[in-house]
Amino acid sequence: MLAAPETQRFLAAVRAGKAVHTYIVEGEEGFPGSVMARVAACALNCTAVDLGRRPCFSCSSCRRFLNGTHEDLHVLATTKKLIPVDDVRGLIAELLSSANSARCKIAIIEQAEKMNENGQNCLLKTLEEPHGNTAFFLVTENAEALLPTVRSRARILHAPRLEDETIRGLIRDGFPDAAEERVEAAVALADGAVLTAERFLSDETYAARVDTAARFLKLTEKSGTVGEAFALLNEHKSEASELLELCARLLYAERKKENEDPHSERTGRQIRNVAAFLSAADDLTRYANFNLTIDKLLITIYS
Protein backbone atom coordinates (compact mmCIF):
# COMPACT_ATOMS: atom_id res chain seq x y z
CA MET A 1 0.00 0.00 0.00
CA LEU A 2 2.83 2.36 0.73
CA ALA A 3 4.56 1.75 -2.55
CA ALA A 4 3.05 4.72 -4.40
CA PRO A 5 5.74 7.32 -5.10
CA GLU A 6 3.61 10.12 -3.66
CA THR A 7 3.16 8.26 -0.40
CA GLN A 8 6.89 7.68 -0.27
CA ARG A 9 7.52 11.37 -0.90
CA PHE A 10 5.05 12.23 1.85
CA LEU A 11 6.79 9.91 4.31
CA ALA A 12 10.17 11.32 3.32
CA ALA A 13 8.87 14.86 3.98
CA VAL A 14 7.53 13.78 7.39
CA ARG A 15 10.83 12.19 8.33
CA ALA A 16 12.62 15.37 7.29
CA GLY A 17 10.17 17.47 9.35
CA LYS A 18 8.83 19.11 6.20
CA ALA A 19 5.22 17.97 6.23
CA VAL A 20 2.67 20.66 5.37
CA HIS A 21 -0.49 21.40 7.35
CA THR A 22 -3.16 20.45 4.85
CA TYR A 23 -3.48 17.48 2.55
CA ILE A 24 -6.21 16.46 0.15
CA VAL A 25 -6.22 12.67 -0.08
CA GLU A 26 -7.83 11.74 -3.36
CA GLY A 27 -8.89 8.17 -4.05
CA GLU A 28 -11.70 6.14 -5.50
CA GLU A 29 -14.87 5.59 -3.53
CA GLY A 30 -14.48 3.24 -0.60
CA PHE A 31 -10.76 3.06 -1.10
CA PRO A 32 -8.61 3.91 1.81
CA GLY A 33 -8.27 7.56 1.12
CA SER A 34 -9.27 7.36 4.76
CA VAL A 35 -6.87 4.52 5.46
CA MET A 36 -4.11 6.53 3.82
CA ALA A 37 -4.99 9.53 5.98
CA ARG A 38 -4.59 7.31 9.04
CA VAL A 39 -1.26 6.00 7.78
CA ALA A 40 -0.18 9.61 7.42
CA ALA A 41 -1.42 10.34 10.95
CA CYS A 42 0.72 7.45 12.20
CA ALA A 43 3.74 8.75 10.31
CA LEU A 44 3.37 12.23 11.82
CA ASN A 45 3.12 10.87 15.36
CA CYS A 46 5.04 7.61 15.41
CA THR A 47 7.38 7.27 18.36
CA ALA A 48 9.80 4.78 16.79
CA VAL A 49 13.32 5.94 17.54
CA ASP A 50 14.55 5.04 14.08
CA LEU A 51 13.13 7.80 11.81
CA GLY A 52 13.40 5.52 8.78
CA ARG A 53 10.94 3.10 10.36
CA ARG A 54 8.21 5.67 10.87
CA PRO A 55 5.34 4.80 10.75
CA CYS A 56 6.12 1.56 12.57
CA PHE A 57 2.43 0.58 13.04
CA SER A 58 3.36 -1.09 16.30
CA CYS A 59 4.09 1.68 18.83
CA SER A 60 1.22 2.73 21.07
CA SER A 61 0.70 5.97 19.11
CA CYS A 62 0.53 4.19 15.72
CA ARG A 63 -1.85 1.57 17.06
CA ARG A 64 -4.22 4.13 18.54
CA PHE A 65 -4.31 6.22 15.35
CA LEU A 66 -4.98 3.10 13.28
CA ASN A 67 -7.81 1.82 15.44
CA GLY A 68 -9.28 5.30 15.83
CA THR A 69 -8.92 5.60 19.60
CA HIS A 70 -6.22 8.28 19.79
CA GLU A 71 -7.46 11.39 21.63
CA ASP A 72 -5.73 13.61 19.07
CA LEU A 73 -7.57 12.06 16.16
CA HIS A 74 -10.62 14.14 15.17
CA VAL A 75 -12.72 12.69 12.36
CA LEU A 76 -15.61 14.43 10.66
CA ALA A 77 -17.76 11.98 8.69
CA THR A 78 -21.41 11.99 7.78
CA THR A 79 -23.93 9.66 6.19
CA LYS A 80 -25.98 12.70 5.15
CA LYS A 81 -25.81 14.24 1.70
CA LEU A 82 -23.98 17.31 3.00
CA ILE A 83 -21.63 18.13 5.86
CA PRO A 84 -23.41 20.93 7.76
CA VAL A 85 -21.29 24.04 8.32
CA ASP A 86 -21.96 23.66 12.05
CA ASP A 87 -20.17 20.33 11.99
CA VAL A 88 -17.13 22.04 10.44
CA ARG A 89 -17.26 24.70 13.17
CA GLY A 90 -17.62 21.95 15.75
CA LEU A 91 -14.54 20.19 14.47
CA ILE A 92 -12.48 23.38 14.57
CA ALA A 93 -13.68 24.22 18.09
CA GLU A 94 -12.80 20.71 19.20
CA LEU A 95 -9.32 21.04 17.71
CA LEU A 96 -8.72 24.36 19.44
CA SER A 97 -9.95 23.27 22.83
CA SER A 98 -8.54 19.77 23.07
CA ALA A 99 -5.31 19.08 24.85
CA ASN A 100 -2.88 17.04 22.89
CA SER A 101 -0.50 14.30 23.78
CA ALA A 102 0.57 13.58 20.23
CA ARG A 103 3.17 15.64 18.36
CA CYS A 104 0.53 16.59 15.87
CA LYS A 105 -3.26 16.70 16.19
CA ILE A 106 -4.95 15.07 13.24
CA ALA A 107 -8.20 16.23 11.66
CA ILE A 108 -9.69 13.99 8.99
CA ILE A 109 -12.70 15.11 6.96
CA GLU A 110 -14.20 12.16 5.11
CA GLN A 111 -15.98 12.88 1.80
CA ALA A 112 -14.77 16.45 2.07
CA GLU A 113 -16.62 17.36 -1.14
CA LYS A 114 -19.81 17.15 0.96
CA MET A 115 -18.87 20.47 2.58
CA ASN A 116 -20.74 23.24 0.82
CA GLU A 117 -19.12 26.59 0.06
CA ASN A 118 -19.92 27.93 3.53
CA GLY A 119 -18.38 24.90 5.18
CA GLN A 120 -15.26 25.11 3.04
CA ASN A 121 -14.88 28.83 3.67
CA CYS A 122 -15.22 28.23 7.38
CA LEU A 123 -12.46 25.64 7.18
CA LEU A 124 -10.38 27.93 5.01
CA LYS A 125 -10.01 30.49 7.79
CA THR A 126 -8.39 27.83 9.94
CA LEU A 127 -6.18 26.63 7.09
CA GLU A 128 -5.00 30.20 6.52
CA GLU A 129 -3.80 30.49 10.09
CA PRO A 130 -2.63 26.98 10.77
CA HIS A 131 -1.89 26.04 14.32
CA GLY A 132 1.57 24.63 14.52
CA ASN A 133 0.59 21.21 15.61
CA THR A 134 -2.48 20.32 13.58
CA ALA A 135 -2.60 18.53 10.24
CA PHE A 136 -5.77 18.37 8.14
CA PHE A 137 -6.57 15.53 5.77
CA LEU A 138 -9.46 16.14 3.40
CA VAL A 139 -10.44 12.79 1.95
CA THR A 140 -12.32 12.93 -1.32
CA GLU A 141 -13.04 11.06 -4.52
CA ASN A 142 -12.54 14.21 -6.50
CA ALA A 143 -10.21 17.02 -5.45
CA GLU A 144 -11.67 19.21 -8.20
CA ALA A 145 -14.94 19.28 -6.26
CA LEU A 146 -13.26 21.39 -3.57
CA LEU A 147 -12.94 25.16 -3.83
CA PRO A 148 -9.78 26.35 -5.63
CA THR A 149 -8.94 28.41 -2.54
CA VAL A 150 -8.92 25.23 -0.43
CA ARG A 151 -6.97 23.28 -3.06
CA SER A 152 -4.36 26.00 -3.28
CA ARG A 153 -3.60 25.63 0.42
CA ALA A 154 -3.25 21.88 0.32
CA ARG A 155 -0.96 19.29 -1.13
CA ILE A 156 -2.73 16.48 -2.98
CA LEU A 157 -1.95 12.86 -2.17
CA HIS A 158 -3.39 10.15 -4.41
CA ALA A 159 -4.49 7.02 -2.61
CA PRO A 160 -3.45 3.93 -4.56
CA ARG A 161 -5.78 1.05 -5.32
CA LEU A 162 -5.08 -2.32 -3.76
CA GLU A 163 -4.50 -5.57 -5.66
CA ASP A 164 -7.16 -8.27 -5.18
CA GLU A 165 -4.59 -10.50 -3.50
CA THR A 166 -3.79 -7.80 -0.91
CA ILE A 167 -7.48 -7.27 -0.18
CA ARG A 168 -8.01 -11.04 0.14
CA GLY A 169 -5.19 -11.15 2.71
CA LEU A 170 -6.53 -8.20 4.72
CA ILE A 171 -10.05 -9.65 4.69
CA ARG A 172 -8.89 -13.10 5.78
CA ASP A 173 -7.01 -11.48 8.69
CA GLY A 174 -9.92 -9.30 9.71
CA PHE A 175 -12.70 -11.84 9.18
CA PRO A 176 -11.19 -15.26 9.87
CA ASP A 177 -14.65 -16.88 10.13
CA ALA A 178 -16.02 -15.59 6.82
CA ALA A 179 -16.88 -18.34 4.32
CA GLU A 180 -14.65 -18.56 1.28
CA GLU A 181 -17.54 -17.66 -1.00
CA ARG A 182 -18.27 -14.46 0.98
CA VAL A 183 -14.58 -13.49 0.92
CA GLU A 184 -14.47 -13.89 -2.87
CA ALA A 185 -17.70 -11.92 -3.27
CA ALA A 186 -16.23 -9.18 -1.07
CA VAL A 187 -13.00 -9.04 -3.11
CA ALA A 188 -14.92 -8.84 -6.39
CA LEU A 189 -17.23 -6.15 -5.09
CA ALA A 190 -14.34 -4.14 -3.62
CA ASP A 191 -12.52 -3.81 -6.92
CA GLY A 192 -9.47 -2.31 -5.21
CA ALA A 193 -11.38 -0.63 -2.38
CA VAL A 194 -10.77 -2.54 0.83
CA LEU A 195 -13.28 -0.56 2.89
CA THR A 196 -16.07 -1.71 0.58
CA ALA A 197 -15.05 -5.33 1.16
CA GLU A 198 -14.96 -4.79 4.92
CA ARG A 199 -18.34 -3.12 4.85
CA PHE A 200 -19.82 -6.02 2.88
CA LEU A 201 -18.66 -8.47 5.55
CA SER A 202 -19.49 -6.41 8.62
CA ASP A 203 -22.60 -4.38 7.76
CA GLU A 204 -25.71 -6.57 7.37
CA THR A 205 -27.84 -3.84 5.81
CA TYR A 206 -25.18 -3.23 3.18
CA ALA A 207 -24.74 -6.95 2.51
CA ALA A 208 -28.53 -7.33 2.08
CA ARG A 209 -28.48 -4.44 -0.37
CA VAL A 210 -25.69 -6.13 -2.35
CA ASP A 211 -27.78 -9.32 -2.47
CA THR A 212 -30.79 -7.38 -3.75
CA ALA A 213 -28.63 -5.73 -6.42
CA ALA A 214 -27.33 -9.15 -7.47
CA ARG A 215 -30.93 -10.44 -7.68
CA PHE A 216 -31.90 -7.48 -9.83
CA LEU A 217 -28.96 -8.10 -12.18
CA LYS A 218 -29.88 -11.79 -12.52
CA LEU A 219 -33.44 -10.80 -13.42
CA THR A 220 -32.27 -8.45 -16.15
CA GLU A 221 -30.32 -11.26 -17.81
CA LYS A 222 -33.59 -13.01 -18.66
CA SER A 223 -36.18 -11.69 -21.06
CA GLY A 224 -39.78 -11.04 -20.11
CA THR A 225 -38.87 -9.98 -16.57
CA VAL A 226 -39.32 -6.21 -16.88
CA GLY A 227 -42.35 -6.20 -14.58
CA GLU A 228 -40.55 -8.19 -11.92
CA ALA A 229 -37.46 -5.99 -12.20
CA PHE A 230 -39.54 -2.86 -11.73
CA ALA A 231 -41.37 -4.38 -8.76
CA LEU A 232 -38.09 -5.28 -7.06
CA LEU A 233 -36.75 -1.73 -7.36
CA ASN A 234 -40.08 -0.29 -6.32
CA GLU A 235 -40.03 -2.44 -3.21
CA HIS A 236 -36.65 -0.88 -2.33
CA LYS A 237 -37.53 2.59 -3.53
CA SER A 238 -35.93 4.42 -0.60
CA GLU A 239 -32.51 2.95 -1.40
CA ALA A 240 -32.93 2.60 -5.17
CA SER A 241 -30.08 4.96 -5.96
CA GLU A 242 -27.60 3.01 -3.79
CA LEU A 243 -28.93 -0.25 -5.28
CA LEU A 244 -28.35 0.93 -8.84
CA GLU A 245 -24.84 2.05 -7.99
CA LEU A 246 -24.18 -1.40 -6.60
CA CYS A 247 -25.60 -2.98 -9.78
CA ALA A 248 -23.06 -0.95 -11.78
CA ARG A 249 -20.30 -2.04 -9.44
CA LEU A 250 -21.24 -5.73 -9.51
CA LEU A 251 -21.61 -5.73 -13.27
CA TYR A 252 -18.25 -4.04 -13.67
CA ALA A 253 -16.62 -6.59 -11.35
CA GLU A 254 -18.25 -9.44 -13.26
CA ARG A 255 -17.04 -8.02 -16.55
CA LYS A 256 -13.48 -7.81 -15.31
CA LYS A 257 -13.57 -11.42 -14.16
CA GLU A 258 -14.95 -12.70 -17.45
CA ASN A 259 -11.99 -11.38 -19.36
CA GLU A 260 -14.16 -11.29 -22.41
CA ASP A 261 -13.16 -9.82 -25.74
CA PRO A 262 -13.46 -6.07 -25.22
CA HIS A 263 -15.08 -5.70 -28.64
CA SER A 264 -17.73 -8.39 -28.26
CA GLU A 265 -21.42 -7.60 -28.31
CA ARG A 266 -21.79 -8.84 -24.73
CA THR A 267 -19.07 -6.47 -23.51
CA GLY A 268 -20.73 -3.61 -25.36
CA ARG A 269 -24.01 -4.39 -23.65
CA GLN A 270 -22.38 -4.61 -20.22
CA ILE A 271 -20.63 -1.28 -20.61
CA ARG A 272 -23.86 0.31 -21.79
CA ASN A 273 -25.69 -1.11 -18.77
CA VAL A 274 -23.05 0.05 -16.27
CA ALA A 275 -23.45 3.55 -17.70
CA ALA A 276 -27.25 3.29 -17.57
CA PHE A 277 -27.18 2.18 -13.91
CA LEU A 278 -24.86 5.01 -12.92
CA SER A 279 -26.87 7.59 -14.78
CA ALA A 280 -30.18 6.41 -13.22
CA ALA A 281 -28.59 6.35 -9.74
CA ASP A 282 -27.35 9.88 -10.29
CA ASP A 283 -30.79 11.05 -11.51
CA LEU A 284 -32.42 9.60 -8.40
CA THR A 285 -30.03 11.39 -6.03
CA ARG A 286 -31.14 14.59 -7.79
CA TYR A 287 -34.77 13.76 -7.00
CA ALA A 288 -35.80 12.86 -10.55
CA ASN A 289 -39.20 11.18 -10.88
CA PHE A 290 -38.77 7.55 -9.76
CA ASN A 291 -41.10 5.91 -12.31
CA LEU A 292 -39.73 7.86 -15.27
CA THR A 293 -36.11 7.20 -14.28
CA ILE A 294 -36.66 3.48 -13.82
CA ASP A 295 -38.70 3.17 -17.03
CA LYS A 296 -35.89 4.81 -18.97
CA LEU A 297 -33.34 2.51 -17.33
CA LEU A 298 -35.35 -0.64 -18.02
CA ILE A 299 -35.94 0.32 -21.65
CA THR A 300 -32.18 0.68 -22.08
CA ILE A 301 -31.10 -2.54 -20.41
CA TYR A 302 -33.86 -4.70 -21.89
CA SER A 303 -33.34 -3.49 -25.44
CA dihedral 44, 47, 50, 55 (to 10 degrees): -50
Closest to Zn ion by CB, 66 or 294: 66
Binder among 25, 37, 62, 294 for Zn ion (CB under 5 A): 62
Tell me: does residue 59 bind Zn ion (CB under 5 A): yes
Footprint of Zn ion on residues 249-288 (CB under 5 A)?
none
Closest to Zn ion by CB, 43 or 246: 43
The CB-of-16 to Zn ion minimum distance in angstroms stands at 17
The CB-of-5 to Zn ion minimum distance in angstroms stands at 22
Closest to Zn ion by CB, 67 or 289: 67
The CB-of-147 to Zn ion minimum distance in angstroms stands at 34
Footprint of Zn ion on residues 123-182 (CB under 5 A)?
none
String marking each residue 38-57 x if it binds Zn ion according to CB under 5 A: --------x-x-------x-
Closest to Zn ion by CB, 46 or 301: 46
Give the closest residue to 73 by CA, choosing from 27, 115, 109, 20.
109
Give the interface with Zn ion as residue ranges (CB under 5 A): 46, 48, 56, 59, 62
